[in-house]
């Protein structure tokens, strides 16, 4: 695990992602601030539509048009990358930032052997000969647990199972020794036993390579197993962020409390799990004040009019007026 003293590898400041539509501009990601230190795994969790994947896509410069970064800055190793040209960003992607997506088939070209794809990636970004690149590709495939890598390197994506394809994608993401990996739902398409293998593989690679990972998922179990810190997103904003143990066992935002309450724990004998009433608002209908206020059991007047920013809440930070310093103003 990284020490808090180390300078952040990734810094996202006041990021806003917008989608212009005929009926006006929709804000999909709103004022996101986060950092990831070298070797750290930051989990980003939330319901579908919370803005998790868009945050990841903005960082790697792969927002689908008409989506665009409307405000804020993204810094990698202290250098701004959100304002780079497409060509400059392409050099950053792969070399400095690797990506692992939900469906390995979208990341792999079915017409080329996996070896060719990894070797080309290595040669694009690193000063090596083709035979050195091939040796490195075989070593990577071995490292991610592909058996008989020397033979399998010449096979095509369709010749691998889903779990093995995802391992190939991880080796592809690591090919140019990036400092940061954005992993967007990397285990969703896999069955549970394979999920566990992929998760332990990611953890091992972080430990051994000092790679930082932003792990985007809706699965709290995956976060609990893998992440050092977790950011909980709701309606395009961070509701709570902090060390994973604290967020899971002592959540401070009513939304996080509901999210954690809906996870069954082994040995717990309950008729039914608590649930959060209602649904996350659509982008064109985000309420005034705190976006969670219509679903919140602890709502009071201020929540309906003023939007809270992240504030200290014990071991974590939560964007909730319950943690405002001046409690009199809160309930007044």
d(CA 232, CA 230): 6
CB-based contact 281:293 (threshold 8 Å): no
10-96+178-266+273-282: in CATH 3.40.50.300: yes
Task: Quickly list DSSP for 39-83.
Answer: T-EEEEE-STTSSHHHHHHHHTT-PPTT-EEEEEEEEETTEE-TT
Q: Specify the length of the chain in residues.
A: 332
Q: Which tens digit of pLDDT belongs to each residue from 283-297?
A: 999 999 999 999 999
Q: Which is it for strands 10-21 and 68-76: parallel, antiparallel or unpaired? A: antiparallel
Residue 162 has pLDDT above 50, yes or no: yes
pLDDT of residue 269: 62
Mean pLDDT for the chain overall: 91
Question: CB neighbours (10 Å) of residue 314?
Answer: 12
Q: Which is it for strands 97-100 and 79-80: parallel, antiparallel or unpaired? A: unpaired
Q: Which tens digit of pLDDT belongs to each residue from 143-153?
A: 999 999 999 99
Residue 102 has pLDDT above 50, yes or no: yes
For the segment 213-224, the average pLDDT, to the nearest whole number, is 91
d(CA 136, CA 176): 10
For the segment 152-161, the average pLDDT, to the nearest whole number, is 96
For the segment 249-262, the average pLDDT, to the nearest whole number, is 91
**Residues carrying CATH 3.40.50.300, the chain:** 10-96+178-266+273-282
Global pTM reads 0.91
d(CA 170, CA 161): 14
Find all residues with CB under 8 Å of 174, minimum gap 6, and list them. Answer: 98, 140, 143, 144, 181, 205, 209, 211
Q: Which tens digit of pLDDT belongs to each residue from 19-57?
A: 999 999 999 999 999 999 999 999 999 988 999 999 999
Residue 198 has pLDDT above 90, yes or no: no
Closest CA to 65 of 14, 100, 20: 20
For the segment 190-201, the average pLDDT, to the nearest whole number, is 86
For the segment 118-124, the average pLDDT, to the nearest whole number, is 96
**pLDDT band at residue 329 under the 50/70/90 scheme:** very low
Residue 2 has pLDDT above 60, yes or no: no
d(CA 218, CA 55): 14
* 122/7: higher pLDDT: 122
């Amino acid at each position: 695990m990284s020490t808090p003293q180390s300078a952040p590898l990734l810094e996202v400041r006041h990021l806003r992602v917008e989608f212009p539509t005929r009926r006006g501009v929709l804000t999909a990601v709103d004022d996101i601030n986060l950092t990831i230190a070298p070797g750290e795994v930051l989990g980003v969790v939330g319901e579908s539509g919370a803005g998790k994947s868009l945050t990841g896509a903005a960082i790697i410069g792969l927002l689908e048009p008409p989506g665009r970064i409307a405000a804020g800055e993204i810094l990698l190793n202290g250098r701004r990358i959100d304002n780079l040209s497409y060509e400059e960003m392409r050099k950053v992607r792969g070399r400095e930032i690797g990506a692992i997506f939900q469906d390995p088939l979208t990341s792999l070209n079915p017409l080329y052997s996996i070896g060719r794809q990894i070797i080309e990636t290595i040669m694009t970004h690193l000063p090596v000969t083709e035979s050195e690149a091939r040796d490195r590709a075989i070593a990577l495939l071995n490292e991610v647990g592909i058996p008989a890598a020397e033979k399998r390197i010449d096979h095509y994506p369709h010749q691998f199972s889903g779990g093995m394809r995802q391992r190939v994608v991880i080796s592809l993401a690591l090919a140019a020794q990036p400092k940061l990996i954005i992993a967007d739902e990397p285990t969703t398409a896999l069955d549970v036993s394979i999920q566990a293998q992929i998760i332990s593989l990611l953890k091992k690679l972080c430990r051994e390579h000092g790679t930082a990972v932003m792990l985007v998922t809706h699965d709290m179990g995956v976060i609990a197993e893998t992440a050092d810190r977790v950011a909980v997103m709701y309606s395009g904003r961070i509701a709570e962020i902090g060390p994973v143990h604290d967020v899971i066992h002592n959540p401070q935002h009513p939304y996080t409390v509901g999210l954690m309450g809906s996870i069954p724990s082994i040995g717990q004998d309950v008729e039914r799990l608590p649930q959060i009433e209602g649904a996350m608002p659509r982008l064109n209908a985000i309420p005034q004040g705190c976006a969670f206020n219509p679903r919140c059991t602890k709502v009071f007047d201020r929540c309906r009019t003023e939007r809270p920013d992240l504030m200290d809440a014990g071991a974590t930070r939560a964007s909730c007026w319950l943690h405002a310093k001046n409690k009199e103003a809160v309930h007044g």
